[in-house]
Amino acid sequence: MGDELHFKSAGELSDLLSSGSVSSVEIVKAFINRVEAVDNSVKAFNSYDAEDALAQAKVSDERRVKGETLSELDGIPVGLKDNLAVKDQPLTCSSKILESFISPYDGTCIQKLKAKGAVLWGRLNMDEFAMGSSTENSGTHTTSNPWDLERIPGGSSGGSAAAVAACEAPVALGSDTGGSIRQPASHCGVVGLKPTYGRVSRFGLAAFASSLDQIGPIARNIDDAALLLNAISGYDSHDSTSIDIAVPDFRKAAADVSDRKWTIGLPKEYFEESSDPEAIMPVLDAIEFYKSQGFEFKNISLPRTEYAVASYYIIATAEASSNLARYDGIRYTSRAEDFDGKDSIDVYRQSRALGFGEEVKRRVILGTYVLSSGYYDAYYLKAQKCRTLIRSDFENAFESVDAIMTPTSPTPATLKGAHAEDPLAMYLSDIYTISANLAGIPGLSLPCGYVDGLPVGLQILGKPFKEEEIFRVGRIFEKAHAFKDEYPEL
């Protein structure tokens, strides 16, 4: 099984291309065949253009023949979450209101991938406008978890995680607002990284909550995640929140095997009795492994963790209310076909009522409420103050530890529909990931075991702009375990 091209990692495919053993066209054909074979079950893709992907691959092969290879990613397919702008490709955010929209430009991440010669591969399903934790809130269809097709893949980057887990793409880009890369990575048994806020340009990412959103890689192993992060990182003048800071070679840093004394923090708030004891066992086993490797562990406290979910859903919905105001049925979005409104307000009302799903409507209404006169100070301002306190908790913790380890998710992947009547339960599924977005720090999820055949993720949180350190910590575990080489049966 592992000899087939679609089972190879991006790094392995890059080596095969360099040796002349295969061509990019052959690699892309292998992934097209894989999608045609399994995506009717997984449903990771919203769309893909096989002809365009093969054309990109052909150009890559021609460069290679001339000795003009652009990078280690040249000729490698990269899957794309459907909220990233690619010129002349659909940009739907899995929403009916954007179902016919074609992007007129490339976002910065896409420009960087093109400059590296990567093959842009398909549009991957997501919770509508990235609002959800299961990919059940997509306006098109529900993606399945490749490990159990009756279960969710997580969200909102569920299509990206499912595509990588099902070997429909070697790597993919997702976006993480409150755990939307790490949580589906945990549920699907792959590696997912939320970079430090400002490390990767958001220009060309359809905004959900601008102060929280961050684009990041989803991959089968840490080496591939580092390779993709190398390609997309860097300062961008088009993004006012982009930070002008040196970008290390993450792939080289992750492979560093030099001895170092690591001190890891274990926050008591993430290991309390409310956690599912069975679901947390693989995480505890991983911690025992690190202890056997000489890692020192320190019990720490992040006391404002209890306010993270409430603060997040006030701030995120407030920003969503503002960002989604542009989807009004007037400019570039779908309009109600049987429009009978009398004025522009009726255009907005009817178009948004038909174009937005229930979860998007719920969050826009909540966000508008907390920003309204009389409630701004009581809710939004207070949430922002809590956010500052949460960030200060991490700053204090990192004075005495190099990284922090926690579970990624409180449970393995749940059955589809399990939270259909209880949105709050869905919101709480991000309880371990949200704080990193509020604090702006990097977070990595890597597979650490299984519960009833379902993957479980270990989360490693790091200091701002120290992604290379959490890659290095994660790779020590990955090298000693076979999870990166295990695939679901489809």
On whether the CB atoms of residues 177 and 209 are closer than 8 A, the answer is: yes
Token representation of residue 313: 């859903």
Kindly list the distances between the CA atom of residue 209 and the CA atoms of 178, 249, 266, 311, in Å, as whole numbers in the listed order.
10, 29, 29, 13
CA distance 137 to 188: 18
Beta strands 403-407 and 171-176, pairing class: unpaired
Beta strands 191-194 and 45-47, pairing class: unpaired
CA 264 vs. chain centroid, Å, equals: 24
Token representation of residue 406: 């926690």
The answer to whether 94 is a known catalytic residue is no
H/E stretch holding 450 reads strand 443-451
Token representation of residue 264: 């890891």
Q: Which of 14, 156, 157, 445 is catalytic?
A: 156
Three-state SS letters, 278-332: HHHHHHHHHHHHHHHCCCEEEEECCHHHHHHHHHHHHHHHHHHHHHHHHCCCCCC
Q: Which of 81, 112, 416, 466 is catalytic?
A: 81
Beta strands 191-194 and 214-219, pairing class: antiparallel
Radius of gyration of the chain (CA): 21
The strand pairing partners of 458, in sequence order, are 407, 446
- Alpha helices (H) along 87-154: 108-115
Q: Which of 23, 160, 180, 311 is catalytic?
A: 180
Quickly count: other Cβ atoms within 10 Å of residue 65's Cβ.
11
Kindly list the distances between the CA atom of residue 424 and the CA atoms of 137, 211, 252, 368, 430, in Å, as whole numbers in the listed order.
14, 22, 41, 19, 11
Identify residue 412 by its one-letter amino acid code: P
Q: Pick from 464, 285, 475, 301: which is nearest to 389 by CA?
A: 301
The answer to whether 311 is a known catalytic residue is no
Burial label for 182, CB within 10 Å (0-12, 13-18, 19+), is: buried
Residue 187: how many CA atoms within 13 Å on its side-chain side? 39
Residue positions counted in the chain:
490
The strand pairing partners of 450, in sequence order, are 455
Classified as helix, coil or strand, 462 is: strand
Buried b / exposed e along 195-209 (16+ C-beta atoms within 10 A)? bbbbbbbbbbbbbbb
Q: Pick from 160, 119, 170, 162: which is nearest to 10 by CA?
A: 170
Would you name the residues annotated as active-site residues?
81, 156, 180
